[in-house]
Amino acid sequence: MHARRCNRIGWYVAFVAFVAVPWTAARAEAPRFGRDPAIEKRIDDLIGRMTLEEKLGQLTQQWGAETQDVNPVVTRTKRDDMLGLIRAGKVGSLLGTHGAEYTNALQKAAFEESKYKIPLILGNDVIHGYRTIFPIPLGGAATWDPKLVEQAAHVAAVESAATGTHWTFAPMVDVCRDPRWGRVAEGAGEDPLLGSEMAAAAVRGFQGDDLTAPDSVVACAKHYVAYGAPEGGRDYNTVDISLQTLHDVYLPPFRAAVDAGVGTLMSAFNEINGVPASGCRYTLTTVLRDQWHFDGFVVSDWGSVIEMVAHGYASDPADAAAKAITAGVDMDMSSFSYRDHLPRAVADGRVPESVVDEALRRVLRVKFAIGLFDDPYTDPSLEKKVILTPEHRQVAREVARSSFVLLRNEGDLLPIGEDVKSIAVIGPLADSQKDPLGTWAGVGKAEDVVTVLDGIKQRAGAGVTVRHARGCDVRGDDTSGIAEAVEAAEQSDLVVLVIGESDDMSGEGHSRASIELPGVQRQLAQKLHATGKPVAVVLLNGRPMALPWLAENIPAILVAWHPGVECGNAIADVLFGDFNPCGKLPITFPRATGQIPIYTAHKNTGRPPRDDRYTSKYIDLPWTPQYPFGYGLSYTQFTYRNLSIKAQELKADGTLEVAVDVANAGKRDGAEIVQLYVRDLVGSSTRPVRQLVGFQKVQIPAGQDRRVKFSVPVRSLGFHNWDMQYVVEPGDFQFFIADLEGTFRVVE
Ligand code: NOJ
């Protein structure tokens, strides 16, 4: 096996050159932003007339909420002061503005009353829904269904655009392999391919085909880049990863977003190997502009420009602003560093004015492309028509129930059968309207949420007695409610225990040092289990959790994430078997926090774990995860056979074509996520033991089977070598679908 690599140095260079073409799908259309000569002329004309200060005003984004409802920590600028700033051309974009009446008033000040009549671009964090709140993005990824994610993003676009939003700071496409990090909730989990598919789907959903349409918002892929790899899982912390990992793991979802036509990117808070992401010319210009040909603009994250002073990368705000704009950050979010400090940096020659002009050109192109110069106003009658409609709720229910992952179902405890005449719905999250909204619900309202208790009551109907006891809180050590919960359990045929994390235990600034069940919830579960009644746990969670006791003792566990407004209905659909669960984990669930980082595409090491002391494992815990990436049960059983490959020798420009029969051997119709993994056995860099290279969701009626085929370009099986060249090296590979495997060889 090793011999295959030895004698190849001579042709290796030619081979590398051949495959160094980026492998992700080439953009089908022409660039969206720019290149229209008539618009370019208008932009040049505007820039030619503007002073430096006026240009910098356009590159300034600030908080613009009229009320403090949405973000109480941010000081409000009074409406009249805001209008004054806009008329004076001091601001080109706002975030946090909501409602047609308010946004139209702001827009009038810009478009009719300012000197150059440049409309504002108004941004918001529409992360997992606007008012119709969907599952957190990690839940969306658990559907492994890009179409659903696209639909959810489209609904969010419809609702937010109707209230005057042009631009959403989503999707967050940060790969995360450390679930202590609170923002794991906002992304698609641990895998670059799944993350890329979800990123592209969200961009398509937000932006649609026509950026000028009233149901389109510009998307923003964030946080560029590697924000998901903070040391210790602590938000905003230092990131130090190899350039290979940067290119092979953290960059691909951004590339997918760019290829899907994303209009903007957000530069991250973190440093990458010593250089803050908001001052990193390599990622912002060399990779993003020169290699990927991104033609939209880059906005900084909140204050991330000025924070380069605290990082120790800039001596003062002017230095920070100079470094950010020359690296490739076009707009400053909220630190005013461009407006206040770049005049000095330009005056003393640190920043050529042409750099400012180029940043402005990029911002204006997007404003033109989304039609703001034609009509920047929002039809006030739309708001009432499109917010939280029954149709939108239906999409939210579909996404939610498709996102649930059944981890355990001993003795087919679920779905709940006709024989169950009484159910005890217990737990601190059972009757919560707030927590199912999840980490970034924006203008979402708790009153819109159907609780698990209500969903179960409604579905169970009059013939079933539903009891409820809270048992304990999510946090804290108060066990006084457990006795009442035990009593309710003892009187019932079945216990549904709804536990996990509250909405404020994940998201920005909410990292956890331990991802075990908080508070006394495990104690509650133990007491209920001790009653001898069957217990089904529904977990509401913003991240993977370490649940060793539950995994060994509780017969049924359903991971429901934070599922949004249709929480209770979607959970009842699954518990009662109206919907067969089909979600799969988009991220590994460890046995204990101490196993982190633990992920499927890991390396083999020189001493893979074995029954031998001197191999890579722990003395106090198995090295394997509790539940791996890609895991999830169904109420039916799928069996796999007849794995085949079309050709076993493949050229680098060829296609890996494999097929497998998937049979639904059970009595219920169901959907299965069929996953294809490969392993490149020997490389000039070591390769993961399993790398996801394809997946498909297939619906299979009970008793039937489907032949599932994959066509994967061989050029997508490569990696970045030590010289940062993307290569697919010839040699032997294994491939895996479920428990079947085969081999193929890439040849010269
Ligand atoms: C900081 C967050 O990191 C980012 O994701 C968000 O879009 C901005 N704040 C604006 O709210």
Strand extents, DSSP E, 572-684 = 638-645, 649-651, 655-664, 670-680
Cβ proximity of 497 and 525 under 8 Å? yes
Residue 125 near ligand 1, beta carbon < 6 Å:
yes
Which residues on adjacent β-strands are paired with residue 671? Answer: 699
How far is it, in rounded angstroms, from Cα 545 to Cα 543?
6
| Ligand 1 centre distance from Cα of residue 143 (Å) | 25
Collapsing DSSP to helix, strand or coil, 108 comes out as helix
Which residues on adjacent β-strands are paired with residue 672? Answer: 698
- Choosing from 267, 333, 334, 506 the residue with most ligand 1 atoms within 8 A of its CB, the one to mutate for a pocket test is 333
Q: Average pLDDT for residues 568-579, to the nearest whole number?
A: 99
16 pLDDT band, cuts 50/70/90, is very low
Q: Average pLDDT for residues 446-457, to the nearest whole number?
A: 99
Q: Average pLDDT for residues 305-329, to the nearest whole number?
A: 98
| Ligand 1 centre distance from Cα of residue 76 (Å) | 17
- The pLDDT of residue 65 is 84
| Shortest-distance Cα residue to atom 11 of ligand 1 | 125
How far is it, in rounded angstroms, from Cα 187 to Cα 141?
8
* Residue 227 alpha carbon, nearest atom of ligand 1: 3
Angle at 129 between CA 430 and CA 176, to 5 degrees: 80
Residue 169 near ligand 1, beta carbon < 6 Å:
yes
Q: Give φ, ψ of 170 to 5 degrees.
A: -155, 155
Residues 140-182 pLDDT 10s: 999 999 999 999 999 999 999 999 999 999 999 999 999 999 9
How far is it, in rounded angstroms, from Cα 253 to Cα 259?
10
| Ligand 1 centre distance from Cα of residue 222 (Å) | 9
Question: How does DSSP assign 137-185, residue by residue?
Answer: HHHHHHTT-HHHHHHHHHHHHHHHHHTT--EE---B----S-TTSGGGG
Which of 275, 177, 308 is CA-nearest to residue 231? 177
Cβ proximity of 735 and 744 under 8 Å? yes
Say which DSSP state 416 is in: P
Q: Give φ, ψ of 308 to 5 degrees.
A: -65, -20
Give the max Cα distance, the chain. 81
337-347 vs 353-369: helix crossing angle, rounded to 10: 140
| Ligand 1 centre distance from Cα of residue 301 (Å) | 6
| Shortest-distance Cα residue to atom 9 of ligand 1 | 302
Residues 686-729 pLDDT 10s: 999 999 999 999 999 999 999 999 999 999 999 999 999 999 99
Q: Which of 72-76, 378-382, 427-431, 627-631 has the lowest mean pLDDT?
A: 72-76
Pairing mode of beta strands 670-680, 691-700:
antiparallel
246 pLDDT band, cuts 50/70/90, is very high
How far is it, in rounded angstroms, from Cα 231 to Cα 561?
24
Q: Average pLDDT for residues 105-131, to the nearest whole number?
A: 98
Structure tokens at 653: 């420009």
pTM of this prediction?
0.96
Cβ proximity of 87 and 113 under 8 Å? yes
Residues 505-555 pLDDT 10s: 999 999 999 999 999 999 999 999 999 999 999 999 999 999 999 999 999
Q: Average pLDDT for residues 427-448, to the nearest whole number?
A: 98
Name the strand (E) or helix (H) holding 732.
strand 731-737
75 pLDDT band, cuts 50/70/90, is low
How far is it, in rounded angstroms, from Cα 79 to Cα 64?
9
Which of 502, 484, 501 is CA-nearest to residue 426? 484
354 pLDDT above the threshold of 90: yes
How far is it, in rounded angstroms, from Cα 260 to Cα 253?
10
Which of 378, 467, 365 is CA-nearest to residue 426? 467
- Active-site annotation, residues: 301
How far is it, in rounded angstroms, from Cα 511 to Cα 236?
10
Q: Phi/psi class of residue 102: alpha, beta or left (left: φ > 0; alpha: ψ in -120 to 50)?
A: alpha
| Ligand 1 centre distance from Cα of residue 429 (Å) | 27
275 pLDDT above the threshold of 60: yes
Where do the domains of the chain lie, and which CATH numbers do they carry?
31-383 (3.20.20.300), 400-595 (3.40.50.1700), 638-747 (2.60.40.10)
| Ligand 1 centre distance from Cα of residue 321 (Å) | 19
Pairing mode of beta strands 649-651, 740-747:
parallel
Q: Average pLDDT for residues 240-264, to the nearest whole number?
A: 98
Rounded to a whole number of angstroms, the distance between the first and last alpha carbons of the chain is 16
* Residue 269 alpha carbon, nearest atom of ligand 1: 3
Residue 222 near ligand 1, beta carbon < 6 Å:
yes
Average pLDDT, the chain: 94
655 pLDDT band, cuts 50/70/90, is very high
Cβ proximity of 613 and 168 under 8 Å? no
How far is it, in rounded angstroms, from Cα 227 to Cα 224?
7
How far is it, in rounded angstroms, from Cα 480 to Cα 178?
34
Residue 301 near ligand 1, beta carbon < 6 Å:
yes
Residues 227-238 pLDDT 10s: 999 999 999 999
Q: Name residues whose C-beta falls within 8 Å of residue 417's C-beta, 6 or more positions apart in sequence.
A: none
| Shortest-distance Cα residue to atom 7 of ligand 1 | 169
* Residue 220 alpha carbon, nearest atom of ligand 1: 7
Angle at 348 between CA 342 and CA 352, to 5 degrees: 65
31 pLDDT band, cuts 50/70/90, is low
3 pLDDT band, cuts 50/70/90, is very low
Residue 128 near ligand 1, beta carbon < 6 Å:
no
Which residues on adjacent β-strands are paired with residue 465? Answer: 422
- The pLDDT of residue 73 is 52
